[in-house]
Amino acid sequence: MVSLGEPVIFAVSDSIGETAELVARAAAVQFNSGHVEIRRYPFVTDLEYAREVIEEARKLKNCAIVCTIVLPEIRKSLVELAEANNIPIIDIMGPMMDIVSKITSARPKLEPGLVRKIDEDYFKKIEAIEFAVKYDDGKDPRGLAKADVVLVGVSRTSKTPLSMYLAHKRLKVANLPLVPEVSPPEELFQLPPGTVIGLTINPEILYRIRRERLKALGLSSDATYASMERILKELEYADGIMKKIGCPRIDVSNKAVEEVAARILEIIRRGED
């Protein structure tokens, strides 16, 4: 019997080739008769590179190609070249996209690596959400230096909801309450310009919000927390801290979280220009 040599599968893609390699491994692991080598060829985005892959495959007596190429012209050329050289080839992406196109009546974007980009976007969002939870309400001042944005303001100025909303925009946000009895950590005053954003609010509106908050908690609305004297003292203190930092300020009075977040994003973009 003539030995064909060790079998080789070429995992070819116009992106990183991870899917093609996983499919090849999933199939190869079903066979215990011998080892199957898998060689990954990523970023095959031009005809010249496709020809190079075929030339490499021609040197072997026992090989096959599995491809996940999105670009139609490259995919078609690779399949034709493989067939012309009697190299077994499986095109995974083409038939799958044809089926999806039929059932959705939509045209594919034909953008290599889109799954990877979507995955990266998802994990960045999760990381930002975890960051917002970890560094909420000044729990750990070490988070200030790691944050893309730091929100400061008195209690009930929507710092936490804004942090979570911005986290879904993939921004790492820390927030810090400003309380007269507690000096802000030194890290706050060492942050680069544009990192800190102050949140202010009309005292009458804050008075009503705090009274409703106490009622919701089953507490007396006469507590110092909701007294106008206390509110004015806190706002004056917070205003002094914000002036010392020199940070931009946003009045959150009667504004939805989405509206304030849009303003924060505008300030960030302006700072990056």
Which residue ranges make up the annotated binding site for ADP?
Answer: 153-160
For residue 188, give the nearest of 148, 142, 154 by alpha carbon. 142
b/e code 129-168 from CB counts within 10 Å (16+ = b): bebbeebbebeeeebbeebbbbbbbbbbbbbbebbbbbbe
Q: How far apart are CA 49 and CA 204, in angstroms?
A: 69
Residues paired with residue 68 on neighbouring β-strands, in sequence order: 13
Cα distances (angstroms) measured from residue 249 to each of 40, 55, 91, 207, 267: 52, 63, 56, 20, 10
Triad 221, 226, 232: Cα angle to 5°: 160
Triad 94, 98, 101: Cα angle to 5°: 135
**Annotated binding-site members:** 153-160
Would you say 115 and 93 are in contact if contact means Cβ atoms under 8 Å apart? no
Q: Both ends of the chain: CA-CA distance in Å?
A: 70
Q: How far apart are CA 152 and CA 177, in angstroms?
A: 6
Scan for tokens 């986290």, then name that residue.
167
CA torsion sign for 212, 218, 222, 223 is negative
Task: Give the containing element (helix H, strand E) for 196.
Answer: strand 196-200
